[in-house]
Amino acid sequence: MKIKNKYSGLRDFFILWSSQAVSELGTAMTNFALIIWVYSQEGTASSITFLTLCSFLPTILFRFIAGAIADRWNKKRIMLLADLMAACGTLTVLILYSLSALQVWHLYVINFLLSFMNAFQSPASYVATSLLVPKEHYLKVSGLQSFSGSVITILAPALGSSLLAFGGMP
């Protein structure tokens, strides 16, 4: 008698899921560190509010259009482009900070652009997941995605503040 693995057929999903989780954790940690930095520079809640607005407004405004576009375009390319833009945004912040040229308005622009890219990445990831996963595994996959989202929400501030405390902003 052959024993069937309850996770068979999910190899591609696990690769996508783990890479997206690592990417989301890095982005969340960076955003947390930048909020702390903005507050240390400006000392106002309005500067953090505007940074948060720049981080979420494009996603909210463009998610519907981006979802329709993600259905028609290559999901893999959309996710790779969005992750590449996130890496470029983080690298730009690092370079500007290293040169002592980082200004708060730079972060507003960078977060706005990254949020715009996230509007495309999330729908593409969801569609790619539905294409990779057999229907009988949808419930498990949904639970795993919810779990990783919750873990990232909890770990990002903890890891971000730990890195700031022991390593500083660089």
pTM, 2 dp: 0.77
pLDDT of residue 105: 92
- Whether the CB-CB separation of 149 and 27 falls below 8 Å is answered with no
The chain-wide mean pLDDT, for the chain, equals 83
pLDDT in tens, 142-155: 888 888 888 888 98
pLDDT in tens, 36-56: 888 888 888 898 888 888 888
| % of the chain at pLDDT higher than 70 | 93
